[in-house]
A and B are shown apart, each in its own frame.
Chain A
């Protein structure tokens, strides 16, 4: 008899809960837009936050609500934007693919240090102690706060300077946010040249602590036929809208800090 009770009892419980859940799913039904799920499938799913929202599902919601554009995901690129635009029935605007670039080439041995740092391996902590262990106030600290926050394993510290692996970089810009010295910049992915220095000190001062610092000599500015490179605040800057990839500035630079990126490979700063 005992087993009969058990079977009846559990069938009863099962039916009660089953009916309860079935009713609840009807009563508590919330209409969700099927497009949210479709868009979420197109998105990379790394939840990196590069779009400015709290994650891929949040972005999908915001796109459906019309608060974000279909191309808002900097990681997914053109293909992703096209698919999302198709789901939303909108024209795709292809975003310019970006990559992160560390504007410093002061590797160990080239750029001198103020003191020996032995503490928490975090750039922000080091920067609070006399603005970092490097003499250069705008040099890479090299403790890898950017490395820790990169969701794509695309940035590594090599010889004391963070270096971006172009093959993996998606241009989400998370490392840019976490750099206490603000020396990581987003540049167009195809941009061949970049200035490996962010020092704002005058040339004579920069020379005292770094062998590979921009001295603001303006030779590149004079060499450029397209007005694409200018020296402001003692450091050269490239305007990528104007740059035509001619490479004249690279040849002229006496410090050899205007670098040519080899696409798809690691450039050792």
Chain B
């Protein structure tokens, strides 16, 4: 499948309503496993539906390779049935009046394939997804996980160039979800399809995707590999949306400046006087460590005094809640913390753990160069 290209794609429902998606540029390359990630209502499902052709654009255009499939300028709109894609719905949308086999067979019949080939292909995907034993049942007789497999099988049977998945795992229980994630990854390898996957679950995105596109309020926030997204969030929204427990944000805004933020401001202006225009600094909980004695603080790291107010075990790791007069920090540690509630500790963060954002919340790229090149002295 050639590259799918969205340019300036825009969608609004009805005049005067806010844009569900605005000015979206997105490129999905062949063989990619792309996750559209964002909170509910961010436009990710709309984007998926625009790619599928179930929604038409309000502005912009969509190309598949060189072929324009949707454009107001060219007056082109290729309907979904002619785009040769696969889409698995959140609700699965199995046809209740057809058996599992007929559900799987539906697309192949439309393509008027010879019977023998149809049967062979249906058999293959039903085997691959382990649903062959339910072939004569109706969708209502299957469990959620089985229905989900049928929905996948139905789309894989026609061997689409692109497989679109709209939160397909959100209706499954935790265990099944894990299994299906592995399954999806396997299918991606086996069938070599391009996959576009919509989810609001960052873990799902992190574990599955080769590329993640983070969206918020109808606009693209950042596109990159899972590591990019996590290690170099392009703005505060991405930084705060990805990661659990969420990133600690120290705001330099005059009205809301906490004592920890003041310390950070002093730290940065002392060591990196060239760094200006900072709006906020983010530190991931797992990048923080703590020290009970001053001499244990690694030299050159950003640190400050706080009080332990909470120790929350999460099974294998612990989340510490640290408080100063007017700030709360969360810290993740994998070693059993030998601390008492009320004990005074110092948190410490190496300079490269600091994500520096400007006053508009955008990442300051220069800061990375400065902070990540300096070796601790």
**A pairs with B:** no
A interface vs B, CB < 8 Å? none
Residues on B lying within 8 angstroms of A by beta carbon are none
